[in-house]
Amino acid sequence: GRVLLQDFMKFVQTYPSASVLAEQFDVVGFIRAQAAEIVMGAVDHYVRVANNYYLYFNLIQMSYQSFAIDQYH
């Protein structure tokens, strides 16, 4: 787990192209989630606060997915 995450963080720091990033990260899902947050008012939006966002490694898709979770809202 930890080594996979460290490798992913190093990979992201290389500024990969969108297509290369999409091989390891659910870019479309991330964009859709951000759009939905903006439509709903963007109270804790990533651009504003950047809190309560997590990465999940999906073993079926073999890629990372981002998700927001806020137990107070």
- Whole-number mean pLDDT of the chain? 84
pLDDT of residue 69: 75
Please state the φ and ψ torsions of residue 3, each to the nearest 5 degrees: -65, -40
Residue 72 has pLDDT above 60, yes or no: no
Confidence of residue 48 (pLDDT cuts 50, 70, 90): low
Report the alpha-carbon distance of residue 41 to residue 45 in Å, rounded: 8
pLDDT of residue 1: 75
pTM given for the model: 0.75
Confidence of residue 50 (pLDDT cuts 50, 70, 90): low
